[in-house]
Structure 1
């Protein structure tokens, strides 16, 4: 009992030799109870893993699948995951015994004491095994740090996949919005052409002035000018999506028309659920775990290390004896090593590791707050855009009725063509606004999926 008490006291005394690490900063993070938006999605469907299928467009689903498989940035991220998975094995190997084998047959020619040279053959084979006893848990802490770093890289790859899927979905929906605007502009151009030809005929017969004809011509040219701009935007959007999908610049297959695409119902969820669904939050958490483990390993550098070494082998001066009856050699060593004085190097390293830990704490809190803000902003955007769409529908209905009245007045000679032309512009702008709002609502729903973690669930 007395011996055990002495050993325990010695262990406590040695443990006191570890560097001193300051305590972590107090958390200032507070999780809100609910979202600010009045359209919080209570009772709606949960986020699905392959959420992009909720839009019901096979072309969108195929495009996202191609991007998740072939995107260059994702392939880099997955390669980094494989790299850090291997580094976990490197760290774990430090907790295992190391065995080395060495064979060194030697032939030497030397001078004897009487000056006569002679030749000596030495046949030798030796193996050596060494093992460090992890008394203080330093090697285990290094393995824990490598494991947490690997998990952080896995979460980083998941975050990249979520970002790529959301970017592709947003780009495709924007592309369909541009397609719809191009179709609207082409249809409007035909109407402008008819109005221009009518104004020209009425000018030729003296029914209207040259000013009205020129204004109709100018309106036709203004509408025609928008077509190349829209086609260029479509061309560039297609190329961007093709690159995201891991291919060369080229055309993109289309699916459902913009009018048939509907934003899925707003997913339900409380702010606390983001802590397990967002991969960037998980990445920050794993980084914090890794830094804490590295801090422990750095702090324990001042503690003594215990190593066991065993070596054995055979040796003889003649090959026949070496093969048949070699001389066996062995040795067994137990070593205790500890730094005595290093100019406070370890303490300064510990202070630096503690500062990294504090930075990781703050980074984690910032990631959580950013997640709260992005989700709340996305919920608010959908709610307000839907309100705006209601007003746009009312404005478009008014513009359509105004154009009908103006057209009848012009046909019956009660008003000039300028009145109808102004009504046409108003209706066209309302139609463009309707298409843009529809696209923005769809893209805002993608942003919400991205903000809510996109169905990704942290692997515990």
Structure 2
């Protein structure tokens, strides 16, 4: 085993060459100028007429006041397949940070290679030799230019982006479960309304039949009442099918098999959460998809530095030490100690433009990341503004619907009395019944849409995500 040590003059020469080559890093094109502008406020105020604003709660689904809804969201966050995959990816990229960080640490290995060989001497006489040796080797790359540190930074930022992605998946699943459950309660309410309406249609049909039997009304009115009854009866299996499918979808979302879903508070008793308040700039710290885009951009910039510095020289120290002997007894008791220390300087001279092309490719990825970040922010602004506007407009629509429902109820009462007393045909009552039923269905649908719009707003404002930035 050869012994070698770098002398001070040799080390100085190595460092001089390294400094000369330090200017050989690949060139990086500058990033595009940002076009992002943060609005000062939302187009629709959070606290408009008849609204109350509050903070963005972490577990916002509890604000609906339904324990079953909270249980379903909790189960989904624990068992949903997409959430579990996202968490597994976080664990994967956490391990990759360790892989990247290991490049900045020394590598130590041990090797033992006892050898027995039969050879010929110069006189042509065969002889057998035994060589016993054990060797320890340690190597360490000196990170002169920060290339290894940049690779670790890139891995760390990618890991943080995956954490933010897992938060985004969890937020999306929680919102989807909440929306699915609220739609299910809306369908339940519509089914109950339709079943109650069917009983009223049955009473009207029976009344029309009796009046026809005694000759008080025509066969046409009786058939019209019968047709209206059948139309309402046809709606019930349609609603039951939608409920069945919605239950199966919810069961899958919470990580179970298709099946029934427990019910909690009735739709009319569900609370409409406070409209969350917050400035547009706060979304940059709260929405996980924005955080993911930002961390991805950090990772690309770090990767860009590591790629650019591939043209710079690398300096690696290697120390090897071991023991060796021709006899086992001497190997165990008095072996010969051997060692050597090597300092290696390596720098590419010509690579055909490979590193520069790789650098240009990563720089293009950086530009894409900048655009993706700005798009994520703009999309967040639009979703939040749309959510605030939707709740405000839906509540205004609900006020008009309540007025229409009150008018329809009064019209039906008058039409029914006129029909019973023979002052009007059944067509007037039938038309009033249809109008009231339509208003009642619209009322339930509007209430459901207001509740689900609250879910959309909390999702848009990053509710439920509390990871530190």
Which TM-score applies when normalising by structure 1? 0.97
Q: 1:76 aligns with which of 75, 78, 85?
A: 85
Which of 155, 166, 172 is residue 164 of structure 2 equivalent to? Answer: 155
Classify the secondary structure of the residue corresponding to 1:62.
Answer: helix
User: SS where residue 49 of structure 1 aligns?
Assistant: coil
**1:243 corresponding residue in structure 2:** 252
Residue from 6, 15, 35 that aligns with 2:42: 35
- Give 1:340-419 correspondences, 5 Å limit: 340-419=349-428
Paired position in structure 1 for 2:33: 26
Distance 1:406 1:11 in 2: 98
Structure 1 residue corresponding to 2:149, chosen from 140, 148, 165 = 140
User: In the aligned structure 1, how far is the partner of 2:205 from the partner of 2:305?
Assistant: 81
**Change in CA separation of 1:13 and 1:115 when aligned onto 2, cut-off 3 Å:** closer
The equivalent of 2:450 in structure 1 is 441
Q: Does 395-404 or 112-121 show the bigger shift?
A: 112-121
Q: 2:317 aligns with which of 308, 318, 322?
A: 308
- Equivalent residue, structure 1, for 2:24: 17
User: 1:453 — aligned with what?
Assistant: 462
- Aligned with 2:274 (options 233, 243, 265): 265
Moved more, 366-375 or 13-22: 13-22
Matched, 1:94 2:103: yes
Offset of residue 40 of structure 1? 4.9
Question: Counterpart of 1:104?
Answer: 113
Report deviation, 1:69: 0.3
CA distance in 2 between partners of 1:360 and 1:93 (Å):
27
How far is 1:265 from its partner?
A: 1.1
2:8 corresponding residue in structure 1: none
- Determine if contact 1:138/1:297 at 8 Å carries over to the other structure: yes
How far does residue 348 in structure 1 lie from its aligned partner after superposition? 0.8
**Alpha-carbon contact 1:152-1:284 (below 8 Å) kept:** yes
CA distance in 1, matches of 2:52, 2:177: 28
- Alignment gaps of 5+ in structure 2: 1-11
CA contact (8 A) 1:130 1:308 kept: yes
Q: CA RMSD in A?
A: 1.5
Looking at structure 2, the residues matched to 25 and 128 of structure 1 have their Cα atoms a distance apart, in angstroms, of 47
Cα deviation for residue 262 of structure 1 reads 2.0
Equivalent residue in structure 2 for 1:256, among 255, 260, 265? 265
Q: CA deviation at 1:110?
A: 1.1
Q: Secondary structure at the match of 1:16?
A: helix
Give the CA deviation at 1:456: 1.5
For 1:9 and 1:32, how far apart are their aligned partners in 2? Answer: 53
Offset at residue 14 of structure 1 (A): 3.0
In 1, the alpha carbon distance for the partners of 2:432 and 2:248 equals: 37
- Determine if the alignment matches structure 1 residue 284 to structure 2 residue 278: no
Aligned to 1:231: 240
Preserved contact between residue 293 and residue 376 of structure 2 (Cα < 8 Å): yes
Kindly tell me the number of residue pairs found equivalent between the two proteins.
Answer: 456
Query: Structure 1 residue 43: deviation in Å?
Result: 7.2
Kindly state the Cα deviation for residue 22 of structure 1 after the two structures are TM-superposed. 0.8
- CA drift of 1:242 comes to 0.3
Q: Distance in 1 between matches of 2:52 and 2:75?
A: 33
Residue by residue over 1:371-417, the C-alpha shift from the partner in whole angstroms, topping out at 9 and shown as x without a partner, is 00000000000000000000000000000000010011111110011
Deviations 1:351-380 (A, max 9, x none): 111000000000000000000000000000
Residues 1:380 and 1:354: Cα distance change in structure 2 (over 3 Å): same
Question: What secondary structure, in the 3-state scheme, does the structure 1 residue paired with 2:351 have?
Answer: coil
Alignment partner of 1:131 out of 140, 147, 156: 140
